[in-house]
A = this chain, B = another copy of it.
Amino acid sequence: MSKKRVVVAGMGFGGLRAAKALAENAVELTMVDRNNYHLFQPLLYQVATAGLEQEAIAYPLRGLTRRWRDASFLLAEISGIDLTGKCVLTDAGMVPYDYLVIAAGSRTNFFGMESIAAHAFDLKRLDQAEDLRNHILLMFERASREPDPERRSALLTFVIVGGGPTGVEFAGALRELIVYVLSQDYPAISVTESRIILVEAAGSLLGAMPLDLRRYACQKLLSMGVEVLLENRVVGATAETVEMDGGAVIASHTLFWSAGVSAAEVAEYLQGVERGAAGRIVVQPDLSIKGHPEVFVVGDMACFLEEGAPLPMIAPVATQQGAYVARAILAREQGRSLPPFHYYDKGSMATIGRSCAVAAAAGFKFRGYIAWLAWLLLHLYYLIGFRNRLVVMMNWTYAYWFHERQVRLITAKKRRAVSL
Contact = CB atoms under 8 A, between A and B. Distances in A.
Contacts of A404: 63, 387
A387 B398 contact: yes
Contacts of A62: 185-186, 408
Given A54-B411, A91-B420, A409-B36, A63 B391 contact: no
A385 B413 contact: no
A390 interface: yes
Contact of A391 (B186, B391, B413): B391
Nearest to A60: B408
A216 interface: no
A336 interface: no
Nearest to A58: B409
Nearest to A181: B63
A238 interface: no
A202 interface: no
Given A53-B53, A55-B409, A66 B36 contact: no
A127 interface: yes
Categorize the interface residue count of chain A.
35 or more
B63 A406 contact: yes
A420 B79 CA distance: 14
Interface string A128-162: 00000000010001000100000000000000000
Interface string A24-39: 0000000000011100
Interface of A: 35-37, 53-56, 58-60, 62-63, 66, 74-77, 91-93, 125-127, 137, 141, 145, 184-187, 385, 387-388, 390-391, 394-395, 398, 404, 406-413, 417, 420
29 contacts: A36-B137, A36-B410, A37-B410, A53-B53, A53-B54, A53-B391, A55-B55, A55-B406, A55-B407, A60-B185, A60-B409, A62-B185, A63-B185, A66-B184, A66-B185, A66-B187, A75-B141, A75-B420, A76-B420, A77-B417, A92-B145, A93-B145, A125-B413, A127-B412, A385-B406, A387-B398, A390-B394, A391-B391, A391-B394
The 7 nearest A-B residue pairs measured at CB: A53-B55, A62-B185, A36-B410, A75-B141, A60-B408, A387-B406, A37-B409
